[in-house]
Amino acid sequence: MKKWHFSLMFLFAIFAYAEEIEILDLDVISYEAFIQNDPEAVSTLEKALFEKGIVGIRGIPEYREKLRQYVARAREFCALPEEIKESYAPNEGEMFLGYEKGKEKFKRPDGRWVIDDLKNSYYAYVPDSRENKWPKEVDLQSPYQDLGIIMAETAKLVMEKIDLIGPRLGIFLGDTPQVGRMLYYQKSADTLQDNPYWCGAHYDHGMFTAITPAAYFVEGVEVTEPIEAGLFVRIGDRFKKVIADPEVLMFQVGEFGQLATDDAIRATEHKVHKANCAQIERYAMALFFNAPFDTLIHSVSTLTQDARYGGQAGDPCTYQHWHEESFKRYIVKDDK
């Protein structure tokens, strides 16, 4: 009965939203063609990232299985009592690594700042580091790192292909770790509340981002992504819905990538819409690529007009400065 009821809701959502939701024509290339430098595949990849800000790669070895294992362990961790999960949150004065709940705020189109209070995260460096903290109750560490390494290795190849890292810009990642983020979007008691988003519209502030398609569950049963929910990216003056199956790994551009290339490539504005069904939960993983903190640029990008840059076009700015100013703007501080 519950499955039948949910199916009716899903069909209703399709008809209700069909006219107003635009589906993005996501460019997806095969991993084999990409690795072999197939001219058509490389051209599609470059055009997608430079014109749409997002691209997908299908058929990465072991990726789908590692994603499945990761989602299973992420669900186990998220099912733990809140006091246990909170024990893995950073202590005052510690780094951001570990569990986080409802810490980000984003500005709505009407100018109001809204906290994404239903977005939970678990941050860790990839590859693994002794600075990471891992739960003892669930083996989140192994699948998190296994998936993260695949995402990191593939994304670095993409970044090299579009000259985002390498000799052209003089930016090399070296030993700089990537920042992994387990994303868990909670079910809500009321989907018609003031904030209709699991994650408000924003740009990632780093160089580049790899992100998995999401998995959705209702009472422990995996369901198809609702038509009204999920990842949306801005194309021109409209946000369009991104649809990708579990075989695809996606890539987006961050703001520092735009700064470093003087707007040759643009950061990807994106948001995550809530499901119309209040009982739906959403799981995904993102991997963020930061430049080394001492990376120095003299950008003439339009983003230099942002106060976080700390100067005018052509003035110097380090990645550390941009990173720290971004955290100050978007992270909600605890009142202690």
125 domain residue, yes or no:
yes
Spatial separation of the C-alpha atoms in residues 237 and 240, rounded to whole Å: 10
The answer to whether residue 140 is domain-embedded is yes
Half-sphere exposure in the Cβ direction for 53 (13 Å, CA): 23
What's the CA angle centered on 240, arms 236 and 244, to 5 degrees? 130
If phi over 0 gives left and psi between -120 and 50 gives alpha, with beta otherwise, what is residue 303?
A: alpha
For the entire predicted model, the pTM comes to: 0.90
φ and ψ of 311, to 5 deg: -175, -170
Question: What is the Cα–Cα distance from 265 to 3, expressed in whole angstroms?
Answer: 44
Cis amide linkage into residue 177, ω under 30° from 0: no
Q: How many domains does the chain have?
A: 1
Distance of CA 301 to the CA centre of its chain: 23
For residue 335, is it within any domain?
A: no
Q: Please state at what angle helix 39-51 crosses helix 141-161, rounded to 10 degrees.
A: 100
What is the rounded CA–CA span in Å between residue 48 and residue 56? Answer: 9
Name the packing angle between helices 63-78 and 141-161 (round to 10°).
Answer: 130
Range of the structural domain that residue 210 is part of: 2-330
Give the residue from 244, 167, 256 showing the smallest Cα distance to 211.
Answer: 244
Task: Classify burial at 251, counting beta carbons within 10 Å of its beta carbon; exposed 0-12, middle 13-18, buried 19 or more.
Answer: buried
The reply to whether 336 falls in a domain is no
List the beta bridge partners of residue 126. Answer: 178
What CATH number has the domain bearing residue 246? Answer: 2.60.120.330
**Is residue 45 in some structural domain?**
yes
Q: Tens-digit pLDDT profile for the chain (336 aa)? A: 333 444 444 444 444 444 489 999 999 999 999 999 999 999 999 999 999 999 999 999 999 999 999 999 999 999 999 999 999 999 876 778 999 987 666 666 677 776 767 889 999 999 999 999 999 999 999 999 999 999 999 999 999 999 999 999 999 999 999 999 999 998 876 544 567 888 888 999 999 999 999 999 999 999 999 999 999 999 999 999 999 999 999 999 999 999 999 999 999 999 999 998 889 999 999 999 999 999 999 999 999 999 999 999 999 999 999 999 998 887 666 544
Answer whether residue 216 is part of any domain: yes
Whether residue 228 lies inside any domain: the answer is: yes
pLDDT in tens, 100-153: 987 666 666 677 776 767 889 999 999 999 999 999 999 999 999 999 999 999
- Do the domain assignments include residue 127? yes
